[in-house]
Amino acid sequence: KQEVTQIPAALSVPEGENLVLNCSFTDSAIYNLQWFRQDPGKGLTSLLLIQSSQREQTSGRLNASLDKSSGRSTLYIAASQPGDSATYLCAVRVGQAGTALIFGKGTTLSVSS
Amino acid sequence: NAGVTQTPKFRVLKTGQSMTLLCAQDMNHEYMYWYRQDPGMGLRLIHYSVGEGTTAKGEVPDGYNVSRLKKQNFLLGLESAAPSQTSVYFCASSSGGGGSYEQYFGPGTRLTVT
């Protein structure tokens, strides 16, 4: 059974720091991996999606990498800002068309000014 | 383009009452999903649909039923609510058949069962 783990569970950093969030999964046979952001009391916003054939994706200050063979993904946030404070969720899609995502429990990030 | 919308946003039920949560998407997506999010448990799939008129069970389907009569709508029903169904419910949709299957989420419904 696929399991997704995110470490650390919580992270506090001062504004301006570059940081890395980690995601690991137990079964390397994934179709894609998605990173989401969730603000308190809100829904999930998709940040980046990496297909299984890709190694990384970039959007602005965000860069996500994927190493299927080792079952790992990282989300790199450059020059963090207080507005980046949120919970970041990693999820993998493992099945055929239509099957759902399996989520990690998230990393809660707090960026202080 | 509203994306994925959910109604209601909040609801309080008494044990044994029934209700239906509505999810609507305007992106012409084939696939739709219902998840629940609980503290310490993460998001878990309840039911999903790969097209109009089709539904399938997810990881935690007991106590819920679903229907997909129209492509743009996916309904989640609780026939006899229990306190264990207190949760935040999220609907999502994605393209299929050659698309990226990137999932887009609604804002959620906060349900409390007393």
A 32-71: CB under 8 A from B: 32, 34, 36, 42-46, 49, 51
Residue-level pLDDT at B97: 64
Kindly report, residue by residue over A56-93, the tens digit of the pLDDT.
999 999 999 999 999 999 999 999 999 999 999 999 98
Smallest CA-to-CA distance from B41 within B59, B53, B62 is with B59
Q: Does B60 touch chain A (CB under 8 A)?
A: no
- Among chain B residues, the shortest Cα distance to A95 is held by B101
> What is the distance between the alpha carbons of residues B102 and B93, in angstroms, rounded to a whole number?
8
Helix and strand totals (H; E) in chain A: 0, 11
Count of beta carbons in the 10 Å neighbourhood of residue B30 = 19
Candidate from A2-16, A84-98, B45-59 with smallest mean pLDDT: A84-98
Residue-level pLDDT at A46: 93
Mean pLDDT score of chain A: 93
Residue-level pLDDT at A1: 83
Task: With a cut of 60, say whether residue A98 has pLDDT above it.
Answer: no
> What is the signed CA dihedral for A39, A109, A85, B11, rounded to 10 degrees?
20
Range B52-72 average pLDDT: 95
